[in-house]
Each structure stands twice: as structure tokens, then as C-alpha cells.
């Protein structure tokens, strides 16, 4: 079933919407949640919560890219669960590595609190990524949005792992410089 | 935790970026910066004049003649020597012998202080022999970022970047090319005694600066034809290959183009401009 048809089911308040959503993207959502939570049972619980939030969000929302829309909800729920999940924080999960890497984009002078400013920063991140070369852009998004491992990214893009690592390093550094130039320091 | 905050900000990026990342049709394309400069003879003559002037003055901190930046510590590569200590902190990115009167903004790269690239440039500029170059780079490249180091003789006087016979040992002389390629395809090239360039940085900086200027011209122009004329006047080196105008972004994505030069430019219209044979593309709305 295509995404528009699934969204239509949500709007019709048909519970088939959730089963169709799960059938099409359930495996992907579970793998994303597992990369963050490092625990299959927690990931399943996370997905259930995310589906409930999706059910409440559509309508009124009418997402253009359903996978990304629900994926964002899944990751938000997973991060909330992670805060309470000390086992995952102790290490071993992909998210622990991702957090370490993202620290490089952050200055130690202030924190981001303002919602309006957050939106502006997201816009700047979008701008920055669209300006990147295809390799840098896709590697960055696969790593920090899809939470894929470096080896998985290398396999997907058919380039050496070292090249992915260098690309991520450069993009993180440039993102920090770009945001600073635009007046944002995280 | 700040990293978590950034992770959540990245979580909200454009859906198209998320879908784009998962495409299956990726084919690695190396961006190659192609210089379109004047015949080498003019540059050589100019470099010689600059060197004579600098030697005559003896002490130069910052000499600017006709848009040429000359290094503060010397004006000629003849004064450089290969040092055992490659991490001299007194050398900064301001102190490189860039001689490029035609495209100072395009080719004068700016590298962050303390970066691996800056260290690389330091070594490339000072290595007097192939052996010193290779050992210096091997020592600095602790993370395995360098994939290839080469020194070649220049053979074709009409083609500035054309490289020739490899030099595997001995002295590195003026007019040779020292080229270092990193594992991600970024290339640093030093035309000994003349210009140091990075394929990545020059294209990146060029695109950013040129894009900003195009947007400014678009805001000022009244019609498509007027914009094209303004670009033609500004773009004296003919970087611009194609200019396309669309009523809005939807039309841009659908490929429904406005081609009449008399089209009055309105807010919300979308420009798609191809520069440098497709190496740089500018997309922006008025």
C-alpha cells in the first residue's frame, strides 16, 4: 500500500492504518529504535508508544513523507526512553557513539533553549546539508538521522569505511563553522 | 545533554534529506576544480618581478601590489627550507606564497589554524626534496588520511595544471607540481613557487561567494533578461554555464521553466543556475 493510502486510513480513523504502517515500515522503525536503545524489548515498547503518538498526530497532520514523519516520532520517543535507560547509556549502543561525535559540533559556552532559535538552527542545518556534496550529505544524514553504523553507510554508498569516517569528520567540523558563521553556537 | 539536543535538532531536518540519503543510485563523483587562468608566461613573469622587488627591499611584512598577496616572512620559495620541525606555530595560513592576480578570491584558500590540512600545506610548501616531502607527510598523517603523494614535472606550457613525468627522488624545483590526494578525494596541489590550491576548498568557497552575489543580482533585476545581463557583466570569467527560471519551487521540481527574457521577476520565483561545468549549482528563490 502506498503512503498516501495509509495516511488516508489514518484520516478515516481506520485501525488498519497502524497495521499497514507496521507492515510497510515496522522493521525499519524497530531497527532505528534498537540502534538508540540497544535493547529489542525496549525498542518494541518504543514503537508502540510512537504508533500511539502517530495515531494522535494524523489528523491533523498530513505528512508528505510518512516514513520520515513517523521515524522522527520514533526517535523522539526512543531518546526519552534512553534518558531513563542507564543500560544503554553505559555504552555499546550506536547512539552513545553518535552523541560523542556530535559533541564536536558543540561549543561549551551555552545551551540551546529557545524554540524559535531551534527552528532557525534546523533551517540552517538544512541549508548546510543541501550545500554539501552528495557523499558528505548522505553520509551525515545516514549517520545522524538514520543512526546507521559507519560500516553500514560504507556498504550502502559503496565506499571504504575510512572515507565515510573522514567525510563525517569534515562535515561535523564544517557544520560547526557554518552555524557559528550564521550566529549560532550550540 | 547538548549532544542529545543537537541529535533532536537533526531529527527535524527536511524530509527530503532523509529520503535522499536512502537512495540506491549513489555513484561517487569527485569534484575537480578546473582553473581557467591566463597563459603561464604572464604569471611567471609577474612572479619574477615580485621576487626581485622583495629581495631588493629585504624586509617585507605584507606587500600588496595590484591585488597580489605576498607572504610576510618571504616572497620567494627560494627562502624556504625543509625543516625538521614541521609544527612551527609561527607559520599561519596568512604566510603562504599565493601568486594569483586573476582569481585571488577563488584560489587563495583559507584553512583552519591547527588543522591537518594546514599542516599538510606547511610540509608541501617547505619540502626541498621528494624524500623530505614523503617523510614529512608520513609523520604528520597519523590518521591515515592521505591516499597519494606525487611530484611531477610540468610539461605543457599551455596547460597550467597538466602534469607530466613523475619525480620520485631528489630536489623539488620550481614549476613542478606537488600533489597530495586524501582518501575522500580532496586534492591539494602546489605548483612549486606559484600557487597552492585545494580542489575542495576552492570550489566550496567559490560556490558560496558566487551564489550570494547571484542572489543579490536577482533581487535587483527586474526581468529575466535583465538578470542575465547583470550576471554576464559580473561574471567576467564565464563561470556561469546555464541559468534557468521557474515560477516557484514546485515548477522547478516539475521542470516547468520560464524562458522569455521579458519575464518580470516576482517574489517566490526560483532560479537554478549551473556553474563550473556542473561542479557548482545554485538554487534559490527571489
Res B54: pLDDT: 58
Would you call B16 an interface residue with chain A, using a CB distance cutoff of 8 Å? yes
- Does some domain include residue B66? yes
ipTM associated with this complex:
0.78
Highest mean pLDDT among B19-28, B129-138, B165-174, B198-207: B129-138
Neighboring chain B residues of A146 at a CB cutoff of 8 Å: 18, 21-22
- The band of B258, judged by pLDDT with boundaries at 50, 70 and 90, is very high
Residue B112 has pLDDT above 60, yes or no: no
How many angstroms separate the first and last alpha carbons of chain B? 39
Residue B9 has pLDDT above 50, yes or no: yes
Looking at the fold, whether B271 and B188 belong to one and the same domain comes out as no
Res B106: pLDDT: 30
Residue B197's DSSP bridge partners are: B189
Looking at the fold, whether B186 and B281 belong to one and the same domain comes out as no
Res B197: pLDDT: 61
A12-16, A19-23, B109-113: which range is least confident on average? Answer: B109-113
Cβ atoms of residues A120 and A74 within 8 Å: no
Residue B268 has pLDDT above 60, yes or no: yes
Highest mean pLDDT among A70-74, A91-95, B117-121: A70-74
Percent of chain B at pLDDT above 70?
50
Nearest-by-Cβ selection for A129 from B13, B22, B182: B13
- Does some domain include residue B1? no
Residue B193: half-sphere exposure toward Cβ, Cα within 13 Å:
16
Chosen for mutation from B5, B18, B21, B182 (greatest number of chain A CBs closer than 10 Å) is B21
Q: What is the mean pLDDT of residues A15-31?
A: 90
Looking at the fold, whether B227 and B112 belong to one and the same domain comes out as no
Chosen for mutation from B16, B22, B252 (greatest number of chain A CBs closer than 10 Å) is B22
Looking at the fold, whether B74 and B138 belong to one and the same domain comes out as yes
- Which of these, B92, B157, B78, B156, lies nearest to B121 by C-alpha position? B92
- The span from the CA of B173 to the CA of B87, in Å, is 23
Res B110: pLDDT: 46
- Does some domain include residue B23? no
Would you call A160 an interface residue with chain B, using a CB distance cutoff of 8 Å? yes
Q: How far is CA A179 from CA A103, A183, B15, B106, B210, in A?
A: 14, 6, 20, 22, 20
Looking at the fold, whether B114 and B189 belong to one and the same domain comes out as yes
Q: Tell me what percent of chain A is helix, strand and coil, each rounded to the nearest 5.
A: 75, 0, 25
Nearest-by-Cβ selection for A111 from B2, B16, B283: B2
Neighboring chain A residues of B7 at a CB cutoff of 8 Å: 79, 95, 98-99, 102, 144
Looking at the fold, whether B143 and B265 belong to one and the same domain comes out as no
Would you call A138 an interface residue with chain B, using a CB distance cutoff of 8 Å? yes
Looking at the fold, whether B188 and B226 belong to one and the same domain comes out as no
Looking at the fold, whether B175 and B274 belong to one and the same domain comes out as no
Q: What is the mean pLDDT of residues A47-66?
A: 87
pLDDT digits (tens, 9 = 90+) for B34-89: 333 334 444 454 555 555 555 555 444 444 444 333 333 332 222 222 222 323 33
- The band of A96, judged by pLDDT with boundaries at 50, 70 and 90, is confident
Q: Environment class of residue B282 by beta-carbon count within 10 Å: exposed (0-12), middle (13-18) or buried (19+)?
A: buried
Looking at the fold, whether B111 and B76 belong to one and the same domain comes out as yes
pLDDT digits (tens, 9 = 90+) for A149-169: 899 999 888 888 888 888 888
- CA B235 to chain centroid, in Å, comes to 17
- The band of B107, judged by pLDDT with boundaries at 50, 70 and 90, is very low
Highest mean pLDDT among A142-151, B107-116, B267-276: A142-151
- Which of these, A99, A100, A98, lies nearest to A150 by C-alpha position? A98
Last residue of a domain, one of B132, B166, B198: B198
Would you call A133 an interface residue with chain B, using a CB distance cutoff of 8 Å? yes
Percent of chain A at pLDDT above 70?
88
- Does some domain include residue B133? yes
pLDDT digits (tens, 9 = 90+) for A167-181: 888 888 888 888 887
Q: What is the mean pLDDT of residues B28-34?
A: 32
Selected residues 61-80 of chain B with any CB under 8 Å from a CB in chain A: none
How many structural domains is chain B composed of? 2
Q: What is the mean pLDDT of residues B125-145?
A: 87
B141: domain range? Answer: 40-198
Residue B27 has pLDDT above 90, yes or no: no
Res A100: pLDDT: 75
Neighboring chain B residues of A103 at a CB cutoff of 8 Å: 2-3
Looking at the fold, whether B126 and B87 belong to one and the same domain comes out as yes
Nearest-by-Cβ selection for A163 from B3, B184, B208: B184
Smallest CA–CA separation between A35 and chain B, in Å?
Answer: 14
Write out the DSSP string of A79-113.
HHHHHH-HHHHTTTSHHHHHHHHHGGG--SS----
Nearest-by-Cβ selection for B14 from A106, A126, A186: A126
- Does some domain include residue B129? yes
Q: What is the mean pLDDT of residues A87-108?
A: 67
Neighboring chain B residues of A111 at a CB cutoff of 8 Å: 2, 5
Residue B84: half-sphere exposure toward Cβ, Cα within 13 Å:
0
Nearest-by-Cβ selection for A159 from B17, B20, B28: B28
Res B30: pLDDT: 31
Q: Which tops the pLDDT comparison, A142 or B255?
A: A142
Cβ atoms of residues B155 and B162 within 8 Å: yes
Nearest-by-Cβ selection for B18 from A105, A135, A141: A141
Residue B104 has pLDDT above 60, yes or no: no
Percent of chain B at pLDDT above 90?
12
Nearest-by-Cβ selection for B183 from A102, A122, A162: A162
Cβ atoms of residues A106 and A186 within 8 Å: yes
A77-81, A113-117, A174-178: which range is least confident on average? Answer: A113-117
Could you give phi then psi for residue B99, rounded to 5 degrees? -125, 100
Looking at the fold, whether B190 and B236 belong to one and the same domain comes out as no
pLDDT digits (tens, 9 = 90+) for A129-143: 877 777 888 999 999
Looking at the fold, whether B183 and B228 belong to one and the same domain comes out as no
- Does some domain include residue B102? yes
Neighbours of B53 (CB within 10 A): 14
Neighboring chain B residues of A125 at a CB cutoff of 8 Å: 9-10, 13
Neighboring chain B residues of A71 at a CB cutoff of 8 Å: 18
Selected residues 73-112 of chain A with any CB under 8 Å from a CB in chain B: 75-76, 79, 95, 98-100, 102-103, 105-106, 111-112
- Does some domain include residue B123? yes
Domains in chain A (CATH in brackets) are: 3-89 (1.10.1740.10), 95-181 (1.10.10.10)
Write out the DSSP string of chain B.
-HHHHHHHHHHTS-HHHHHHHT-S---------------HHHHHHHHHHHHHHHHHH---S-EEETTEEE-SS-SSGGG----S-TT-TT--GGGS----SS-HHHH-----TT-HHHHHHHHHHH--BHHHHHHHHHHH-TT--EEEEEEEEE--TT-TT-EEEE--SSB--TTEEEEEEETTS-EEEEETTTEEEEHHHHHHHHHHHHHHHHHHHHHH-SBHHHHHHHHHHH-TT--EEEEEEESSHHHHHHT-EE--TTPBP-TT-EEEEEEGGGTEEEEEE-
- Does some domain include residue B213? no
Mean pLDDT across chain A: 82
Amino acid at each position: 500500500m502506498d503512503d498516501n493510502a495509509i495516511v488516508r486510513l489514518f484520516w478515516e480513523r481506520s485501525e488498519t492504518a497502524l497495521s499497514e504502517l507496521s507492515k510497510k515500515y515496522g522493521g525499519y522503525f524497530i531497527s532505528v529504535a534498537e540502534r538508540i536503545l540497544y535493547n529489542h524489548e525496549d525498542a518494541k515498547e518504543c514503537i508502540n508508544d510512537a504508533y500511539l503518538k502517530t495515531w494522535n498526530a494524523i489528523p491533523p497532520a498530513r505528512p508528505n513523507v510518512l516514513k520520515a514523519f513517523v521515524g522522527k516520532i520514533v526517535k523522539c520517543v526512543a531518546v526519552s526512553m534512553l534518558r531513563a535507560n542507564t543500560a544503554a547509556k553505559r555504552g555499546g549502543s550506536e547512539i552513545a557513539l553518535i552523541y560523542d561525535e556530535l559533541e564536536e559540533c558543540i561549543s561549551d559556552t551555552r545551551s540551546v533553549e529557545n524554540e524559535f532559535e531551534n527552528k532557525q538552527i534546523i533551517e540552517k542545518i538544512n541549508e548546510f546539508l543541501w550545500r554539501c556534496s552528495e557523499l558528505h550529505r548522505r553520509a551525515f544524514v545516514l549517520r545522524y538521522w538514520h543512526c546507521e553504523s559507519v560500516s553500514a553507510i560504507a556498504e550502502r554508498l559503496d565506499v571504504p569505511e575510512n572515507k565515510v569516517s573522514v567525510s563525517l569528520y569534515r562535515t561535523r567540523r564544517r557544520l560547526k563553522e557554518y552555524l557559528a558563521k550564521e550566529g549560532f553556537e550550540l | 545533554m547538548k549532544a542529545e539536543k543537537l541529535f533532536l535538532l537533526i531529527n527535524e531536518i527536511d524530509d527530503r534529506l532523509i529520503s535522499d540519503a536512502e537512495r540506491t543510485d549513489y555513484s561517487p563523483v569527485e569534484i575537480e576544480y578546473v582553473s581557467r587562468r591566463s597563459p603561464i608566461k604572464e604569471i611567471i613573469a609577474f612572479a619574477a618581478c615580485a621576487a626581485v622587488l622583495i629581495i631588493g627591499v629585504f624586509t617585507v611584512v605584507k606587500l600588496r601590489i595590484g591585488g597580489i598577496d605576498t607572504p610576510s616572512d618571504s616572497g620567494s620559495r627560494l627562502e624556504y627550507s625543509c625543516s625538521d620541525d614541521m609544527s612551527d606555530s609561527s607559520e599561519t595560513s596568512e604566510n603562504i606564497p599565493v601568486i594569483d592576480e586573476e582569481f585571488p578570491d577563488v584560489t587563495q584558500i583559507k584553512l583552519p589554524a591547527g588543522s591537518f590540512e594546514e599542516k599538510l600545506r606547511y610540509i608541501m610548501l617547505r619540502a626541498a626534496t621528494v624524500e623530505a616531502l614523503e617523510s614529512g607527510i608520513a609523520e604528520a598523517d597519523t590518521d591515515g588520511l592521505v591516499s597519494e603523494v606525487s611530484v611531477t614535472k610540468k610539461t605543457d606550457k599551455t596547460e597550467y595544471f597538466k602534469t607530466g613525468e613523475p619525480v620520485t627522488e631528489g630536489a623539488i624545483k620550481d614549476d613542478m607540481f606537488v600533489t597530495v590526494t586524501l582518501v575522500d578525494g580532496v586534492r591539494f596541489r602546489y605548483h612549486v613557487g606559484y600557487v597552492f590550491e585545494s580542489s575542495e576548498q576552492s570550489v566550496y568557497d567559490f560556490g558560496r561567494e558566487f551564489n550570494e552575489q547571484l542572489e543579490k543580482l536577482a533581487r535587483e533585476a527586474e526581468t529575466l533578461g535583465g538578470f542575465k545581463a547583470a550576471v554576464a557583466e559580473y561574471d567576467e570569467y564565464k563561470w556561469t554555464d546555464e541559468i534557468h527560471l521557474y515560477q516557484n519551487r514546485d515548477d522547478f521540481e516539475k521542470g516547468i521553466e520560464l524562458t522569455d527574457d521579458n519575464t518580470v521577476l516576482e517574489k517566490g520565483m526560483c532560479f537554478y543556475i549551473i556553474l563550473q561545468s556542473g561542479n557548482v549549482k545554485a538554487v534559490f528563490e527571489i
